[in-house]
Amino acid sequence: MPLRRGRIGAVGGGTLSRLTNLGDEPSVRLSGVRGKRQRGGPGRRRALLFAATLAICVGCDHTAKRIAGSSLGDAVISLGGDSVRLELVHNPGAFLSLASELPADVRGPLLLVLVPLALAALFVLALRSRAASGRSVLGLGLIAGGGLGNWLDRLMHGGAVTDFVSLGLGPLRTGIFNLADVCIVAGALLLLLLSAEGGKYEGRTRPIP
């Protein structure tokens, strides 16, 4: 009898051990799934921030251009002692009329092809850079949103972009630009600021939590 009890105890103990191990397996699997989800979280948040910034830039730029096109016409409006001047022009070149002197058959295809490639590169950079901070993704989104806004405007207006505002201080005056150009400059300045601070673009800022 003692021998049988020992065998029964051994069998029972082994069964209990196996049941305990089986009970632990789902928790281990769930922990692995949660770990994968947590690792994927920052990438999704970066993509969402980039896409939201891009969409806001494009929407605001399109609205501003429509208002300028319907209200300015041939008029020139001066504000603040001519520090701000509103006038509607159609710019065949790139940012601040860059490349406008190129032949039309070269300029058009060049700008229409290069811009989408640059936008795709910015999206990949924002999504794949694991050290990307929220501010750096915001800067990339501003640049991409401004570029996409002007690219769409170029498609809708036969290769020309709608510009409507310039700034002046005394004898100095900027070229005529639009809201998309402002987004591009703001994004570039933000990235330069982060780089000067030893930020993300050098791989040293805190990533998105």
Active site positions, annotated:
163, 181
Tell me how far apart the alpha carbons of residues 69 and 140 are, in angstroms, rounded to a whole number.
Answer: 28
Whether the CB-CB separation of 148 and 118 falls below 8 Å is answered with no
Residue with token string 């009329």: 97
Tell me how far apart the alpha carbons of residues 15 and 31 are, in angstroms, rounded to a whole number.
Answer: 25
DSSP 166-196: EEEETTEEPPPB-HHHHHHHHHHHHHHHHHH
Whether the CB-CB separation of 121 and 140 falls below 8 Å is answered with no
Tokens of 17: 């051990």
DSSP letter for 203, please: T
Give the number of other Cβ atoms within 10 Å of residue 48's Cβ: 11
Residue with token string 């201080």: 169
Bridge partners (DSSP) of residue 177 are 165
